Structure 1
Amino acid sequence: MKDNLKNVEKKLNEFPPYHMSQSTQALLHQQVMDTLEDNEIRQKRKGVFLIKAKVGIVTAAAVIIVSILSVSLLNDYPNSSSGENPIPINQDVDQEIEQSPGEEEDNNLYDPVLLEQQASEILQAIDDHDMDVLSSHVHPEKGLLLSPYFSVMDDKVRFEKNEVPSLLENEATYLWGYGEANTEIQLTPADYFDKHLQVKRFFKSDEVFVDTQNQEVDPTNYLKTVFPDSKIVEFYHAGTEQYSGMDWRSLNLVFEQDEEGAWRLVAIVNNLFTP
């Protein structure tokens, strides 16, 4: 019987430990050995050697099966071996996810198709003289800057969002900038929209650039230096052969994100050839 015990012990030592802790392995090992020895003593007292062997084998097998089931449970709940309660499936666990370099979330993500659609809606609202729709697109904190030429300065005219709905009824005259021969551009908002924006011509633009540099008219990407956190939609109307292409025009709608991450209009900037 001692040889049998040694064989069983050898087999137990070869049994895969799976994810059990060392203490758990030792406990299961001892349970099997104690059971075999106990059976040996009892069977010797009864003098039934054949029954002893069968009972011992069956008992050992039962203990091993229980051990395997225990190992299976430990595999299902890896934290059990450390004394911690297992985490139920679908339970929310607050944990910090470490991001590797270069995987930081890009807060400037946008859909260029949707942004172009938004810019087209703004053009239509201006052409329809619908200032309520225009106001709905204006940035709530930064308002709306209007510049008749590409050189955007801080002294250009800017309106708050709540001023835009009544903009065309505003009869005040503003100095919008300077035109040819350094002449002052002094107009009411309604006159400025009609004489300088002239958005109707951009409904059939030759090209539309969405956050893309137009090398023909802005090789230095100037507007991006003025609005570094912006997305710009440029409606470009190419010049004609009659004027050797010098009668080109473009209208730039500048968008920046608000606190909720939505892209809102912050500036409308004209660009055209100036001698």
Structure 2
Amino acid sequence: MKVKVGIITAAAILTIGILSVNLLNDNPNSSGGENPIPNNQDVNQDIEQKRGEEEDNNSYDPIMLKQQATEVLQAIHGRDMDVLSSHVHPEKGLLFSPYLSVTDETVKFEKNEIPSLLENDATYLWGYGEANTEIQLTSADYFDKHLQVKRFFESDEIFVDTQNQEADPTNYLKTVFPDSKIIEFYHAGTEQYSGMDWRSLNLVFEQDEEGAWRLVAIINNLFTP
């Protein structure tokens, strides 16, 4: 009888031990699990790490970018296409729009086309002006008529990646270029025209593969009735 009790007791202990081992292995939070579920602290650390990486990828120096935009302005004013080309995004090229509108038909040039841009005699449809008239010009004529940047050297305000409620109340450019940094040179209107003759020039920058901010668009903006 004692022997039977001993055997039954030993069997019970063995069964409990096996069940304990199985439960330990099945527990996803145990150290022996192959795919442990991270605790809240681990999840939070991962989120913070990813957020930090995103911020690093999107980081910029406002002062440096403003200086870069000023150099672009000077290059346009001096018709120095070599300097302008040095700022252009190597993969995305450079887009031009005479108004605050960007479509699939908006004129765009590759970086290697910029140095000889003003020597190009081809006529392009840059957009539509008053009464829906076509703006068909050569690159040189477009620069002369639609990129008169001298006024912006004495801008009333320069917006560095900040929305200008008067010129772009819907923040349109940020929807078109969500990963961009935009420098806007803003020239306020005059009393003579009740402020409706305001103008702005938007220089849009996006990062290249090395993380440098490069010019991808030059977009005019002005009051249109």
> What is the TM-score normalised by the length of structure 1?
0.64
1:116 counterpart letter in structure 2: K
> Alpha-carbon deviations, 1:157-188, whole Å to 9, x = none?
00000000000000111000000000000000
RCO greater where, 1 or 2, for CA within 8 Å and sep 6 or more? 2
Q: Quick check: 1:208 aligned with 2:158?
A: yes
- Residue 217 of structure 1: CA displacement? 1.4
**Superposition RMSD in Å:** 1.1
* SS at structure 2 position matched to 1:274: coil
Distance 2:86 2:45 in 1: 36
**TM-score normalised to structure 2 length:** 0.77
Supply the distance in 1 between the matched residues of 2:140 and 2:101 (Cα, whole angstroms): 22
Report deviation, 1:101: 2.5
- Counterpart code for 1:102: E
Matches within 5 A, 1:71-90: none
**In the alignment, residue 139 of structure 1 is paired with which amino acid?**
H
**Whole-angstrom CA distance in 1 between matches of 2:109 and 2:101:** 18
Counterpart residue number, 1:236: 186
Partner of 2:212: 262
Distance 1:202 1:160 in 2: 26
Distance 2:180 2:208 in 1: 11
Instruction: Give me the identity figure in percent.
Output: 83
Q: Which amino acid aligns with 1:137?
A: H
Separation in structure 2 between the aligned mates of residue 119 and residue 131 of structure 1, nearest angstrom = 15
Tell me which of 176, 185, 193 is aligned to 2:135: 185
Match of 1:111 in 2: 61
One-letter code aligned to 1:255: F
Aligned length: 178
Alpha-carbon distance between aligned partners in 1 of 2:146 and 2:48, rounded to the nearest angstrom: 44
- Which runs of structure 2 are paired with 1:37-186 in the superposition (5 Å)? 99-103=45-49, 104-105=52-53, 106=55, 107-186=57-136
Structure 2, gaps ≥5 residues long: 1-43
Where does structure 1 differ by over 4 angstroms across 4 or more consecutive aligned residues? none
Find the aligned partners of 2:71 and 2:91 in 1 and give their Cα distance: 21
